[in-house]
Structure 1
Amino acid sequence: MPVAINRRPRLVRSGTEQPVPGFQKPAVPAPEPYAAAPVAAVTVTPVPADDGTAAAVVPGAQEPAPAEQAQASATGSAKVTLLPLEDTGPQAIVVPLAQPQAQPPARAAQQPAGSGPAAAHPDPAAAPGATVLSFPTPAFKRRRLRLWTVLGSVAAAVALVVALAVYSPLLALKTITVDGNKLAGLDTILATLAPLQGKPLPQVDESTVEQLLSTLPQVRSVTVEARPPQTLLVHIVERQPVALLKDGDKFIMVDPGGVALGSTADQSAIALPLIDGGTAAIGGKNFVAITAVLAVLPPSVLGKLQHASATSPDAVELKLNDGKTVVWGNASQNELKAKALDALLNTPLPPTAPGKPVRAPVTVYDVSTPRHPVTR
């Protein structure tokens, strides 16, 4: 291999490229001016040395004198050789070649035959007579794995059952049962709920039924009860009518909010008091005061009323079927007034004592002061 040799001193070492501790580069006198340095093309041949190393020898070069021989400094595993060169002619450059480091006996004995420095990660299980130990999984990890497996299986089974229940045609709705309705007709309710027919029962919820029945003014609230496999029970809470309003040749039932709940041509067919003013009175102050009073009366009293009127919100009067008058006053303490009126109407008068004049019949019940009601 052709090699170009120059005349500048070179630091040559084997092993790693780390600086040599404690070594100082000797001072080299400046060369005299000269023309371009001669360059010889030579062939380098590795030759074994006496100390077991190898050297690269340049043919045709003279061996340096003992005083001029290479100075060596050994540091660790690297051997550094300094070659002083003269200006006269080419010199032989001796470069110690790196040798593989010998392995410790104990370490070499452990390596299987055929392995060397190139085998960086030998397989222990490939050694003759090697025994591979298998360490079992800890008990708590096995228990945890079993627990998660069981939970996953249960969750999957539940999801499957729910999916079948929600979408199965075996649970399609076929029968609707309704209770609690008095004002709203059964046929009207069933016709309103007809879109639910054939729908899987688990998909029918209370909000859906309530939304469908919201078109019926008589219905105030709804609760539903599923009865598998194909029946739905609908509980209806209706608005309560408290009075009648004259509207042409018919009478309209209204609740305390003035919502029309039905109509009749015969006033006597419905045991409710008549409010003056017709449908035009709905929403007025007097109407609100009258209906607030009628809403707290028990059915036993409400059924005995024929007429309800008010000249102002503080002057509400009721007229009974037998012609007697109830002075109510304003709409304060309505519950207490209702209890006082119920007691007066349902408590018989004591008989007249012998020799005493017969008491005049009661025509007025004044409950405007409910803790001290008065009859006249």
Structure 2
Amino acid sequence: MASTRKPTYRPATDPRPAKASRSGGGSAEVISAQRHVEPDVKGAPAPADNVIAFPEPRSRRQRRLVLWTLSIVAVVVGSLIAGAIFSPVLAVRTITVDGTSLVTPDAVQKALAGLEGKPLPQVSEQEINELLKPLVQVRSATMEARPPSELLVHVDERVPVALLKQGESYVMVDVDGVQLGATQDLAAVALPLIDAGVGTTNTELFKAIAAVLNTLPADILARMSTASAASPDAVELKLVDGKTVVWGNAEDRELKAKALEALLRMPADPKVPVNVYDVSVPRHPFTK
């Protein structure tokens, strides 16, 4: 800080010979000014008089404060996240399962038993689906974490669309031909029996029939007795009451399913009995 002490003036003698005054002889006395600054601390040099200290701009102070605050928040949040991911407090202790009908919840829980003790944030749906692959009835699964220790698993099962005869049993299959279970009582399952002449589930005939059955609403599918096809373009269905559904190929399946549903809901006329429902041309369905 610059000194506020007033300068002290001392007379000084000019070393050069004084010139005679115009008004008369003799020496002229010269006055000089010198600023005298005493040091603030004994033995320390006096501060320079030409240095001026300006205060730091307010915007810079605020910016520095914001950066420090964000850094602290980031460290705290990172610590909390790391603690949550690895904390044993959030370890899986309970596995709850819903959406099952073909497979039991106990079977799903047993397949996922390896997740117990693992922190919830470390459990992924990909890992769950990998563990459930041995259960062929499960198409996929999603998860819902319920802290502190519950894992809820939503199971999306495959949907059986038909039965195939294998020896003395009947095997339920989905649209992809995956076997989902077996029964020895044909009447115990409300699904149509695919004609044995179709052969294996990898044939074009099976794929055409399964695609048709997979399109039908559940209540219509339950009314079907058998399904067969002379070719992929000639799919035919039989109702449990013996009536025939001429379907044709697998094109326009959704439109054909709606047309068949409309025909089946028409009130029966005893004077005009119906034996055939033809939806092979879905925009012009008819009965005969």
Determine if the TM-score, normalized by the shorter chain, exceeds 0.5. yes
Asked if residue 166 in structure 1 is aligned to residue 89 in structure 2, the reply is no
Q: 1:128 to 1:328 in 2, by over 3 A?
A: closer
Aligned positions of 1:238-253 closer than 5 A: 238-253=157-172
Shift of 1:192: 0.3
Aligned positions of 1:58-207 closer than 5 A: 126-128=44-46, 133-207=52-126
Distance (whole Å) between structure 1 residues aligned to residue 97 and residue 220 of structure 2: 29
Distance (whole Å) between structure 2 residues aligned to residue 278 and residue 218 of structure 1: 26
Shift of 1:129: 6.3
State the SS of the aligned residue for 2:230.
strand
Distance (whole Å) between structure 2 residues aligned to residue 316 and residue 279 of structure 1: 11
Number of the residue aligned with 2:176: 257
Number of the residue aligned with 1:215: 134
Does the 8 Å CA contact 1:249/1:265 hold for their aligned counterparts? yes
Task: State the TM-score, normalizing by the size of structure 1.
Answer: 0.62
Q: 1:137 to 1:372 in 2, by over 3 A?
A: same
Q: Cα deviation per residue 1:125-144 (whole Å; 9 max; x = unaligned)?
A: 95346567543322222111
Partner of residue 145 from structure 2, selected from 193, 201, 226:
226
Identity of aligned residues (%): 54
Task: State the TM-score, normalizing by the size of structure 2.
Answer: 0.81
Distance (whole Å) between structure 2 residues aligned to residue 244 and residue 278 of structure 1: 13
Shift of 1:365: 1.0
Q: Cα deviation per residue 1:122-171 (whole Å; 9 max; x = unaligned)?
A: xxx95346567543322222111100110011001101111111111111
Distance (whole Å) between structure 2 residues aligned to residue 129 and residue 277 of structure 1: 109
Shift of 1:289: 1.0
Number of the residue aligned with 2:257: 338
Partner of residue 155 from structure 2, selected from 230, 236, 252:
236
Shift of 1:360: 4.1
Number of the residue aligned with 2:278: 366
Asked if residue 329 in structure 1 is aligned to residue 241 in structure 2, the reply is no
State the SS of the aligned residue for 2:172.
strand
Q: 1:210 to 1:279 in 2, by over 3 A?
A: farther
Q: 1:130 to 1:367 in 2, by over 3 A?
A: closer
Distance (whole Å) between structure 1 residues aligned to residue 168 and residue 284 of structure 2: 42
State the SS of the aligned residue for 1:312.
coil
Q: Cα deviation per residue 1:273-313 (whole Å; 9 max; x = unaligned)?
A: 01122794211111111111111111111000010001111
Residue identity opposite 1:175 in structure 2? T
Distance (whole Å) between structure 2 residues aligned to residue 260 and residue 278 of structure 1: 18
Partner of residue 305 from structure 1, selected from 224, 229, 234:
224
Shift of 1:372: 1.8
Does the 8 Å CA contact 1:173/1:230 hold for their aligned counterparts? yes
Does the 8 Å CA contact 1:290/1:309 hold for their aligned counterparts? yes
Distance (whole Å) between structure 2 residues aligned to residue 214 and residue 130 of structure 1: 83
Does the 8 Å CA contact 1:256/1:288 hold for their aligned counterparts? yes
Distance (whole Å) between structure 2 residues aligned to residue 194 and residue 329 of structure 1: 48
Number of the residue aligned with 1:22: none
Distance (whole Å) between structure 2 residues aligned to residue 130 and residue 374 of structure 1: 110
| Alignment RMSD (CA, Å) | 2.1
Q: Cα deviation per residue 1:93-149 (whole Å; 9 max; x = unaligned)?
A: xxxxxxxxxxxxxxxx99x9xxxxxxxxxxxx9534656754332222211110011
Distance (whole Å) between structure 1 residues aligned to residue 253 and residue 75 of structure 2: 59
Does the 8 Å CA contact 2:198/2:228 hold for their aligned counterparts? no
Number of the residue aligned with 1:284: 203
Distance (whole Å) between structure 2 residues aligned to residue 318 and residue 280 of structure 1: 17
Residue identity opposite 1:254 in structure 2? V
Residue identity opposite 1:226 in structure 2? A
Q: Cα deviation per residue 1:211-268 (whole Å; 9 max; x = unaligned)?
A: 1112211111211110100011111111111110011111111111111111112111
Distance (whole Å) between structure 2 residues aligned to residue 272 and residue 281 of structure 1: 18
Partner of residue 266 from structure 2, selected from 342, 347, 352:
347
Residue identity opposite 1:298 in structure 2? P
Flag as ranges the 4+ runs of structure 1 deviating above 4 A: 129-133
